[in-house]
Amino acid sequence: MKRWYQLSPNELLRQFSTAKDQGLSEQEAGARVKQYGRNELRHGKKLNPFKLFLNQFNDVLVIVLMIAAAISFGLAFVEEEGSVKESLLIIVIVVAIALVGFFNEYKAEKTVEALSKLVGFKARVRRNGEVKEIDAAELVPGDIVLLEAGQKVPADIRLLEVSDLACNEASLTGESLPVNKNTDQIDLEAPLGDQKCMVFAGTFLTAGSALGLVVGTGQQTEIGKIADLVSGVENEDTPMQKKLDDLGKKLGYFIAVICVIVFIIVFFFVRQDGDVGLVHHLIFAFTAAVALAVAAIPEGLAFVVRISLALGARRMAGKNALVRKLSAVEALGSTDTICSDKTGTLTKGEMTVRALYVNSQEGTVSGSGYDMTGKLSFKSQAPGLQHLLEIGVLCNNSTIREGTVIGDPTEGSLIVSAGKAKIDAATLIARYPRLQEFPFSSERKRMSTVHKTPDGEYIVAAKGALEVVLDRCGDYYDKAGQKKTLTNEIRKDILEMNKRFAAQALRVLAFASKQTKLQPKNEPDAEKNLTFIGLQAMMDPPREEVIEVIHRVQSEAGMRVIMITGDYIETAKAVAKEIGITGDAISGTELAALSQEEFEKRVETIGVYARVDPEHKIRIVQALKKHGHQVAMTGDGVNDAPAIKAADIGIAMGITGTDVSKEAADLILLDDQFLTIINAIEEGRGIFDNVRKFVNFLISCNIAEVIAVVLGIIFFNDLILTAAQLLFINIVTDGLPAVALGSDPAQANILSSKPKRFQEAIVSSRVWAEIFIFGSIMSIFLIGQYWYNHTHESRIAAVSAAFTAMVVYEIVRLVDIRTDYKIRWFANPWLSVAIVSSLALQLAVLYAPGLAKYFDVGPLNAHDWSIMIAGSIALFVIMKLLNPILDKIIYKEHSLEAIPEALGNNKA
User: Closest Cα to residue 110, out of 47, 41, 68?
Assistant: 47
Return the bridge partners of 148, or none. Answer: 209
Where would I find the H helices in 338-408?
385-394
Decide: 537 and 352 in contact? Cβ < 8 Å: no
Q: Which residues contact 613 (CB under 8 A, 6 or more apart)?
A: 191, 192, 566, 588, 639
- Which residues have CB under 8 Å from 443's CB, separation 6+? none
Yes or no: say if 307 and 100 are a contact pair by the CB < 8 Å rule: yes
Residue at 593: amino acid letter? A
184: annotated active-site residue: no
CA distances from 415 to 372, 425, 514 (A): 9, 7, 20
**SS3 category, 896:** coil
Give the DSSP letter string of 266-310.
Answer: HHHH---SS---HHHHHHHHHHHHHHHHHHHS-TTHHHHHHHHHH
Do residues 193 and 142 touch, judged by C-beta distance below 8 A?
no
Distances, alpha carbon 781 to alpha carbons 124, 773, 798, in Å:
84, 13, 13
Q: Which residues contact 251 (CB under 8 A, 6 or more apart)?
A: 61, 64, 296, 297, 298, 699
Checking DSSP bridges between strand 361-365 and strand 376-378, what pairing results, if any? antiparallel
Half-sphere exposure of 533 (CA within 13 A, CB side): 25
Q: Closest Cα partner for 106 from 52, 59, 176?
A: 52
Name the catalytic one among 143, 164, 336, 341.
341
Q: What helix, strand, coil percent values describe the chain, rounded to 5?
A: 55, 15, 30
230: part of which helix (H) or strand (E)? Answer: helix 222-232
What is the rounded CA–CA span in Å between residue 616 and residue 643? 9
Of 173, 137, 166, nearest to 154 by C-alpha is: 137
DSSP E strands in 506-665: the ranges are 507-516, 530-539, 560-564, 584-587, 606-610, 631-635, 649-653
- Comparing C-alpha atoms, which of 649, 43, 758, 632 is closest to residue 324? 649
CA distance 325 to 309: 10
CB-CB contact of 1 with 181 (8 Å): no
CA 150/CA 400 separation, integer angstroms: 13
DSSP strand pairing (606-610 vs 560-564): parallel
Output the 3-class SS for 698-765.
HHHHHHHHHHHHHHHHHHHCCCCCCHHHHHHHHHHHCHHHHHHHCCCCCCCCHHHCCHHHHCCCCCCH
Rounded-to-integer distance, Cα 469 and Cα 886, Å: 76
Radius of gyration of the chain (CA): 36
- Pairwise CA distance, residues 286 & 265, whole Å: 11
Beta-ladder partners of 532: 476, 512
SS3 per residue for 150-168: CCECCCEEEEEEEEEEEEE
Which positions are catalytic?
341
